[in-house]
């Protein structure tokens, strides 16, 4: 098998299982918290607000991507593999070819920074790059075969992961908040679940007590309420459904 086909096949395999990527770091992260010097990982409000802002910045990138995207693009499809009814080339896609993966990177970087471990952050960066490089390669092969010259023209002037405003084009669609709420409420709650879980482990490691720091408890409670509200609306009505989105 040629390297091109090997890269594409492995990329497609990883693409269908990319939702498991955070698990690769969640378990080691918990172990690191357990054995790290308590002085290093003690609660610091300013630091942990920064970590949260990093993750929320990643979520914002996803919001700006999903909110302007047409249906059957920029999706969470896994088992069915690559899907793209049309090629996104405007809005954030005129800045960078893989905005969702940039968003994911920052969403997960926040919890990684929470561990206060420089070497673990470096490992995260390297593994993320290797993992998603294959996925991006497979995705681009699929898009090139489907859209041909249109894809090549867009890819030639648009960077893969480093945004550039040289060829910015306004989004072809208006922003859809309902689409964002329907498609992103799970990623939103996941941010607060992982931070709260890390805080719980940290406190048990430091104090020997299963407790959640009030800062994270209040945020987690609020996030759960929002998540339950949006999920209920999504599952019981068509209010969040937008034609073509």
8 A C-beta contact, residue 158 and residue 94: yes
Average pLDDT, integer, range 22-27: 80
DSSP string, the chain: --HHHHHHHHHHHHHHTGGGHHHHHHHHHHHHHHHS-HHHHS--HHHHHHHHHHHHHHHHHHHHHHTTPPTTSS----TT----SS---SGGGGT-S-HHHHHHHHHHHHHHHHTT-HHHHHHHHHHHHHHHHHHHHHHHHHHHHHHTHHHHHHHHHS-SSS---TT----SS---HHHHHHHHHHHHHHHHHHHHHHHHHHHHHHHSS----HHHHHHHHHHHHHHHHHHHHHHH-STT--TT-
Q: Domain 3-174: which CATH class?
A: mainly alpha
Give domain limits for the chain. 3-174
8 A C-beta contact, residue 31 and residue 80: no
Q: What is the pLDDT of residues 108-145, one digit of tens each?
A: 999 999 999 999 999 999 999 999 999 999 999 999 99
Q: What is the pLDDT of residues 162-208, one digit of tens each?
A: 999 999 999 999 999 999 999 999 999 999 999 999 999 999 988 88
Instruction: Note the pTM of the prediction, 2 decimals.
Output: 0.90
Mean pLDDT of the chain: 90
Whether the pLDDT of residue 26 is over 90: the answer is no
CB 153: neighbour CB atoms within 10 A?
12
For residue 77, what pLDDT is reported?
55
Beta-carbon contacts of residue 241 (< 8 Å; ≥ 6 apart): 178, 182
């Amino acid at each position: 098998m040629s390297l091109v086909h090997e890269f594409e096949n492995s990329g497609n395999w990883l693409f269908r299982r990319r939702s498991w990527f955070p698990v690769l770091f969640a378990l080691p992260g918990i172990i690191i918290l357990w054995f790290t010097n308590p002085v290093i990982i003690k609660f610091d409000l300013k630091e942990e607000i920064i970590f949260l802002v990093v993750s929320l910045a990643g979520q914002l990138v996803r919001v700006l991507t999903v909110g302007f995207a047409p249906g059957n693009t920029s999706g969470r499809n896994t088992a069915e593999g690559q899907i793209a009814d049309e090629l996104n080339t405007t809005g954030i896609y005129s800045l960078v070819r893989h905005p969702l993966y940039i968003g994911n990177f920052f969403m997960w970087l926040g919890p990684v920074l929470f561990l206060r471990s420089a070497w673990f952050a470096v490992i995260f960066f390297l593994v993320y790059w290797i993992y998603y490089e294959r996925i991006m390669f497979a995705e681009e092969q699929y898009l090139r075969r489907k859209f041909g010259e249109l894809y090549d023209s867009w890819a030639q002037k648009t960077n893969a992961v480093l945004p550039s405003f040289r060829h910015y084009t306004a989004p072809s669609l208006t922003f859809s908040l309902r689409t964002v709420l329907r498609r992103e409420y799970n990623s939103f709650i996941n941010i607060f679940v992982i931070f709260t879980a890390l805080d719980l482990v940290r406190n048990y490691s430091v104090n020997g007590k299963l407790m959640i720091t009030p800062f994270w408890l209040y945020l987690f409670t609020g996030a759960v309420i929002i998540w339950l509200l949006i999920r209920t609306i999504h599952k019981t009505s068509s209010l969040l459904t937008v034609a073509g989105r």
